[in-house]
Structure 1
Amino acid sequence: MGSGWRSAMQTALYGADGFFVREREGPADHFRTSVHASPLFAGALARFAERVDAALGHPAVFDLVDVGAGRGELLTTLLAHLPADLAGRVRATAVEVAPRPAGLDPAVRWRPEPPAGTTGLLLATEWLDNVPLDVLETDGRGRLRKVLVDPATGTETLGEPADPADLFWTSRWWPGAGRIEVGWPRDRAWAAAVDSVRHGVALCVDYGHVRAGRPAFGTLTGFRGGRQVHPVPDGTCDVTAHVAMDSVAAATGIPHRMIRQREALRSLGVDGSRPPLDLARTDPAGYLRRLSTAGAAAELTDPAGLGGHWWLWHHIGTGGRDTMLG
């Protein structure tokens, strides 16, 4: 019979021995994100944090909150990229359901929920795509019904008709027949995270789509050992679906800006262009270093890959003037 995808994902990802909870391995063993691709990503976020700090007037304590922190990889690298003055004022918090990893800087707080009253920058990089959701499909009579999944095999069947909350969200954000990934749980999760910020910026970086480009057959998939696999919600693989970014953006009721990662990173100084060939003759070692950096930057800004991700941010209590990117 199976259960709805939302329930199955919750158990598979965040249950007692769920994919993101177990200690014997980390998510980075199974999939590659911008965080893992290159420290250039953390360097760009450090420059973004500097701009938030300036917009806030350089507060005595600057909160840096990473929601969905994994094993603390992003915070560790980001803190190393901050200028000394800002680093000395930072209060870093990793938000994650997994146990605190051994060896993490003791200055980094570790907690399961975002702290209330943040003044600074709240980050969520590839977090919302793992917030569990339900899937609907249109049956032969044109009715939207909930898709049920067998947790052991990933086999799907059609279950009961869609409930009112799913239909309400779908009518606004994903109308029409086909396969629909119901995004209101992501909307609610993001709104709660943004609500924890008293003064500053909340930034979400994730892969997703907007209403004009909803995928007809959905995006739900799995990752194991660095490879894309059939999404079986048994706890052995990541189960993920792209984010309805426009719905998430509207959920807070706070003005926002949303652009592609390619544009955002280029505004923050990450350039994937190759160094001039003449440099190879005058400074071969420097040429190779710059070539390596260009290759990493190219991966982060590739519009068909990581560069196609969305950056969505909201200003809270900063006067609303957006000076984060040019």
Structure 2
Amino acid sequence: MSTQPEVERPVRWRTAMETALYGPGGFYVRPGGPGPAGHFRTSVHASGLYAGAVARLLLWVDGRLGHPQELDLVDMAAGRGELVAGVLAALPAAVAARVRPYAVECAERPAGLDPRIEWVARPPERTTGLLFANEWLDNVPLEIAEDGRYVLVASDGEESPGDPLDAEDRAWLERWWPGAEQEGRAEIGRARDEAWAAAATTVERGLAVAVDYAHTRETRPPYGTLTGFRAGREVRPVPDGGCDVTAHVALDSCAGPGAVLLTQREALTALGVSGARPPLALASTDPAGYVRRLASAGEAAELTARGGLGDFLWLCQPAGIAPWPDTEAD
């Protein structure tokens, strides 16, 4: 008698990702796990400069809103709450006192999190302030297409061809990934478009920002980007709950009216994050200060590096305020 575990029957990739990431015992919801930081390095985990930059963006939004009595900060896919807690710590005390912070996450609330942070499964229905989604959309489950058909996948990662694409998914590919509706392999981003629209429209006044591994219509990868991560290493994307399963985002297709799309390097530079080395003269007058500034410059360089985190795309979608970045003096 075989002792090998039974492999579940093939299903479409969207269903397989949903179960592997968010189903019972899934990668993102299993209790006691290390959270995303234990498996891959994001900008949030790379440096506190990132939270500081988001805090300055929130201050910009606050100013454009006229400094409301209550200012919402919504952190989508909050992980263990590292970003929202870092932003609160970086804000001036008077502003932090007006902030209503929300961490949107499907996993359980971590112990020791700042009690001011409300831990929720979905964003508030109406917000005034900043909704920030750092590396959320790349984990929104999606369909994979190959040669005009859906790709099916079993729990061991083995793939097989499925049914022909339906009209809506074929139309999405025709518009956003031309040619892939007939031949080749592609990732159908329609589910991400819908997820982002649902989140962004909760912002009545303010700014909604999505930051992710991404590509645009002119730079679609010819064979897609589906992959897995476990314990800091890229692995085969097997939808068994044992690894992160992710694909880059067609972020241009998500963009709503008035949205601005720019690289992380451009966004963080606009928010004052610089990888410039401190003047060498500081080493003789303030050695400790020089070392601190040198370390900060190194972290900033990582966050803005070409070919690395700096190539992430930021989708900035305003609601009732001017677009960001703008040319007005702050």
- Aligned-residue offset at 1:324: 4.0
Contact 1:117 1:196 survives alignment (8 Å): yes
Letter aligned with residue 31 of structure 2: E
Alignment of 1:79-228 (within 5 A): 79-138=88-147, 144-151=148-155, 153-176=156-179, 177-228=183-234
Among 5, 23, 42, the alignment partner of 2:13 is: 5
How far apart, CA to CA, are the structure 2 residues paired with 1:178 and 1:284? Answer: 57
SS at match of 2:72: strand
How far apart, CA to CA, are the structure 1 residues paired with 2:91 and 2:290? Answer: 26
RMSD: 1.1
How far apart, CA to CA, are the structure 1 residues paired with 2:316 and 2:150? Answer: 32
Q: Which runs of 5+ in 1 are unaligned?
A: 139-143
How far apart, CA to CA, are the structure 2 residues paired with 1:55 and 1:66? Answer: 20
- Aligned-residue offset at 1:323: 5.0
Q: Which residue of 2 aligns with 1:267?
A: 270
Letter aligned with residue 267 of structure 2: A
Letter aligned with residue 124 of structure 2: P
Q: Which runs of 5+ in 2 are unaligned?
A: 1-8
Indicate how the Cα distance of structure 1 residues 262 and 325 shifts in structure 2: closer, same or farther if over 3 A, else same. farther
How far apart, CA to CA, are the structure 2 residues paired with 1:274 and 1:156? Answer: 49
SS at match of 2:83: helix
How far apart, CA to CA, are the structure 1 residues paired with 2:120 and 2:13? Answer: 26
Given the two structures, how large is their TM-score scaled by the length of structure 2? 0.93
Contact 1:264 1:325 survives alignment (8 Å): no
How far apart, CA to CA, are the structure 1 residues paired with 2:98 and 2:273? Answer: 26
Letter aligned with residue 304 of structure 1: G
Q: Does 1:76 align with 2:85?
A: yes
- Aligned-residue offset at 1:284: 2.2
How far apart, CA to CA, are the structure 2 residues paired with 1:322 and 1:260? Answer: 15
- Aligned-residue offset at 1:215: 0.1
How far apart, CA to CA, are the structure 1 residues paired with 2:317 and 2:129? Answer: 12
Contact 2:18 2:141 survives alignment (8 Å): yes
How far apart, CA to CA, are the structure 2 residues paired with 1:301 and 1:323? Answer: 18
How far apart, CA to CA, are the structure 2 residues paired with 1:10 and 1:113? Answer: 16
Among 14, 22, 25, the alignment partner of 1:17 is: 25
Provide, for residues 201-247 of structure 1, a one-character-per-residue CA deviation record: whole Å limited to 9, x for no partner. 11111110000000001000000000010011111111000000110
- Aligned pair count reads 315
Contact 2:270 2:325 survives alignment (8 Å): no
Contact 1:222 1:239 survives alignment (8 Å): yes
Q: Does 1:34 align with 2:43?
A: yes
How far apart, CA to CA, are the structure 2 residues paired with 1:167 and 1:213? Answer: 19
Contact 2:209 2:316 survives alignment (8 Å): yes
Q: Which residue of 1 aligns with 2:5?
A: none
Letter aligned with residue 147 of structure 1: V
How far apart, CA to CA, are the structure 2 residues paired with 1:200 and 1:305? Answer: 29
- Aligned-residue offset at 1:194: 0.8
Given the two structures, how large is their TM-score scaled by the length of structure 1? 0.94
How far apart, CA to CA, are the structure 2 residues paired with 1:287 and 1:248? Answer: 43
Contact 2:207 2:316 survives alignment (8 Å): yes
How far apart, CA to CA, are the structure 1 residues paired with 2:12 and 2:326? Answer: 40
Contact 2:13 2:143 survives alignment (8 Å): yes
Q: Does 1:47 align with 2:56?
A: yes
Q: Which residue of 1 aligns with 2:310?
A: 307
How far apart, CA to CA, are the structure 2 residues paired with 1:10 and 1:323? Answer: 33
Contact 2:275 2:301 survives alignment (8 Å): yes
